């Protein structure tokens, strides 16, 4: 098991396939939904060893932990995952049709959260738990089935990636931590909703989730050059922020010891633009820093694939496949937010993810296909470029209060 240390596993020791689901809010999660749908049809999803998700990608990664899903076993006649529509696709559409972000921010106005530093991210976790009922389950009690799930966050005190492993990844209760502070099983109070919200706590909109490391029984850990007093202060409230701050592709848990790496990138497409406000400048600076790290990781991954050290494929939101360039540009501009996405926005993103994944897997990793089912892209009602453009028109604009209803039970729809 990789605990965030430098790679010590030889190339020959790599095994299994890992899927990395990037950050990017509900936009990324919906793009990933299309990817997962096609991977399931091709018999790839059911054979994964690991799913790694950060930020928006962590939402759908943790829906794959639903204990009601039926995962194929070795030699199964049907390689597909049973219950995908009911327990992954439908809950995600319902959640993504909901404005999670604004009520969570306003939740800090409650008197009992006035002096709670991480009141916003705690409120977001409660919203997630309300929207996806089984996410109230403690991480340590999630059943063991399917691929291992690793959810990424960022330890902003030490500037390293923090990970939450589910019980399938590390039996019997899961595992969490980073190589600086150490590792421990998750405490009984830590729900799946808390894990997802921590991974989605994008700064400066949400402050970091703070976890008291002194009560965790952390093992190992390699201190930096800080004083003992500074380390104790950090352990008293380990600040955990959006997983995409450190690694927006979720590559770190996978690329060191998996033979096959698949990457679905629904994150922000970097463009030149002007910034007029201090808040906009701050967001732009965070984006530049993150984009630089992502570019380095992608170049390393592609180089390793070209040398034959790793198999697999990567695909992203900006691929001009299925839709013409003007539609793809409009899709790329859709906001990376956690407010409510319209039915049309959801359909275009899912359809785009499906078609892009089908094309790139066939081109770069056809050997993974276990069931060569002809592609039938979802939502034919948005197949027309004109209809798709109309569906996402204005989707790039953020509003102060966000879009969509504040309750998930008002936002469901059938795909």
User: Which pLDDT value is given to residue 13?
Assistant: 79
- Among 16-30, 234-248, 366-380, 393-407, name the one with the lowest average pLDDT: 393-407
Q: How many CA atoms lie within 13 A of 11 on its CB side?
A: 7
Cβ atoms within 10 Å, residue 8: 9
User: Which pLDDT value is given to residue 110?
Assistant: 77
pLDDT single digits (tens) 32-48: 999 999 999 999 999 99
How many residues belong to the chain?
415
Confirm if 386 and 70 have CB atoms less than 8 A apart: no
- Among 299-303, 324-328, 405-409, name the one with the lowest average pLDDT: 405-409
Confirm if 181 and 235 have CB atoms less than 8 A apart: yes
pLDDT single digits (tens) 39-88: 999 999 999 999 999 999 999 999 999 999 999 998 888 999 999 999 99
The per-residue b/e assignment along 279-303, b for 16 or more CB within 10 angstroms, e otherwise, is eeeebeebbeebeeebeebbeebee
For tokens 């799930």, the residue is 149
Task: Catalogue all structural domains in the chain, each as residue range(s) with its CATH number.
Answer: 17-401 (3.40.1090)
Confirm if 341 and 24 have CB atoms less than 8 A apart: no
| Cα(339)–Cα(406) distance, integer angstroms | 9
Smallest CA-to-CA distance from 176 within 243, 257, 258 is with 243
Longest dimension (CA), the chain: 62
């Amino acid at each position: 098991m990789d605990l965030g240390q430098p790679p010590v596993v030889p190339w020959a020791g790599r095994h299994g396939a890992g899927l990395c689901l990037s950050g990017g809010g509900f936009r990324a999660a919906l793009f990933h939904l299309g990817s997962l749908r096609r991977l399931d049809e091709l018999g790839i999803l059911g054979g994964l060893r690991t799913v790694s998700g950060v930020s928006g990608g962590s939402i759908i990664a943790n829906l794959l932990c639903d204990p009601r899903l039926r995962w194929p076993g070795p030699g199964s006649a049907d390689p597909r995952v049973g219950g995908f529509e009911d327990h992954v696709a439908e809950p995600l559409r319902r959640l993504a049709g909901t404005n999670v972000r604004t009520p969570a921010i306003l939740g800090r106005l409650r008197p009992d959260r006035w002096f709670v530093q991480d009141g916003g991210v705690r409120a977001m976790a409660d919203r997630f738990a309300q929207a996806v009922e089984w996410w109230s389950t403690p991480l340590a009690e999630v059943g063991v089935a399917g691929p291992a799930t690793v959810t990424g966050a960022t330890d902003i005190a030490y500037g390293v990636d923090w990970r939450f492993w589910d019980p399938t990844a590390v039996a019997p209760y899961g595992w969490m931590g980073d190589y600086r502070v150490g590792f421990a099983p998750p405490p009984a109070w830590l729900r799946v909703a808390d894990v997802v919200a921590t991974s989605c706590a994008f700064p400066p909109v949400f402050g970091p989730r703070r976890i008291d490391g002194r009560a965790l029984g952390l093992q190992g850990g390699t201190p930096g050059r800080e004083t003992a007093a500074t380390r104790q202060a950090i352990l008293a409230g380990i600040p955990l922020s959006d997983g995409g701050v450190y690694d927006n592709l979720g590559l770190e848990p996978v690329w060191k010891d998996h033979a096959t790496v698949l990457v679905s990138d629904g994150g922000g497409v970097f463009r030149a633009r002007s910034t007029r406000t201090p808040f906009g400048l701050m967001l732009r600076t965070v984006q530049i820093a993150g984009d630089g790290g992502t570019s380095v990781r992608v170049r390393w991954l592609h180089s390793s694939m070209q040398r034959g050290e790793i198999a697999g494929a990567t695909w992203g939101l900006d691929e001009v496949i299925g839709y013409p360039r003007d539609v793809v540009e409009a899709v790329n501009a859709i906001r990376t937010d956690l407010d409510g996405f319209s039915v049309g926005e959801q359909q275009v993103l899912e359809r785009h993810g499906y078609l892009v994944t089908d094309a790139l897997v066939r081109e770069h990793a056809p050997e993974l296909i276990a069931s060569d089912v002809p592609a039938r892209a979802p939502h034919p009602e948005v197949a027309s470029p004109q209809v798709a453009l109309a569906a996402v028109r204005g989707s790039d604009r953020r509003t102060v209060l966000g879009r969509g209803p504040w309750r998930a039970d008002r936002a469901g729809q059938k795909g």
